Amino acid sequence: MAFPLSGFTLEWYRSLAANTKFQAGFVTSFLVAQPVGILSAALGLGGALVLVSARRAVRLGLAALLMVPFLVPKTVLSIAQAMVLARFGLDRGAGTLIAAQIIVSVPFTTAIIASVLARLDPRLEEAARDLGATPWACFRRITYPQIKPAVSAAYSVGVILSLADLTIGLYLAGRTQPLSLIVASEFRRELSPDLNAMQVSVLVLTAVIVVLTEGYGRLRTARRRRTAPRSPSLARTERVA
């Protein structure tokens, strides 16, 4: 490598755009990542509600269960899941890959949503229930609007973890070929500039997802603050000032 760097070109990005194998792998990864993100966020929301509102024994049990994917290596989890599938005669494929990635993603999504739920003011729900609101109405109209940015962030984390996964795919993808497996296979055969272009593209896509999620959360927070009614005392203070 010599400085200053020279030879900058977009040729390999054009080559990447014409590579049908990478295109098929990206589509497969995208189709796998969507249910992983949605279901991980949904299960994370349920787990977060239990962690915040359930009795202490239930919270401790669920917290211990959610710690398993953090403590056990992905390779061990993947081999164990593959053995279970073989024991029951189930084929490996997109369904098993999605299920395994959800198991790994749920602890992250639960932690994200629970951290926001724990900071909410419980008096808001108590006041709504005193006025006759049902538990579902309280959740839909009071709790969920406040944690919606966290749910969106949890969805993004699930998608990113799915796109970046390699270990689980090696054991459970079967005939399904996500992008990570194709890239790993190409690395073993030949170190092509196409792979560098692919990695940069994935990094840019990941950054875009993170920025859009963060921007959406900040926009909703700012909009909610603008539309929130101000107290009469604060309004009088502003008029005097």
Residue 238 lies in a domain: no
| Cα distances (Å, whole numbers) of residue 9 to 75, 203, 209, 215, 221 | 38, 18, 26, 32, 41
Query: CA nearest 116: which of 226, 196, 204, 41?
Result: 41
**Residue-wise burial string across 8-19, b where 16 or more C-beta atoms lie within 10 A, e elsewhere:** eeeebbeebeeb
CATH classification of the domain holding 134: 1.10.3720.10
Across the range 190-209, mean pLDDT stands at 79
C-alpha–C-alpha distance, residues 125 and 131, integer Å: 10
Give the pLDDT band of residue 231 (cuts 50, 70, 90): very low
Residue 14 lies in a domain: no
Q: What is the pLDDT of residue 174?
A: 81
Q: What is the per-residue pLDDT across 78-116, written as a single tens digit (0 to 9) for each?
A: 888 888 888 888 888 888 999 999 999 999 999 999 989
Host domain of residue 175? 20-121+130-228
Q: What is the per-residue pLDDT across 135-149, written as a single tens digit (0 to 9) for each?
A: 888 888 888 988 988
Q: What is the per-residue pLDDT across 3-29, written as a single tens digit (0 to 9) for each?
A: 666 667 778 788 777 878 888 888 898
Query: Residue 121: which region, alpha, beta or left (left: phi > 0; alpha: psi -120 to 50)?
Result: beta
pLDDT over 70 for what percent of the chain? 90
| Domain tally, the chain | 1
The greatest distance separating any two alpha carbons of the chain, rounded to the nearest whole angstrom, comes to 76
Helices and strands counted in the chain (H then E)? 13, 0
C-alpha–C-alpha distance, residues 2 and 163, integer Å: 34
Residue 174 near residue 92 (C-beta atoms within 8 A) = yes
Residue 3 lies in a domain: no
Residue 55 lies in a domain: yes
In the chain, the amino acid numbered 76 is V
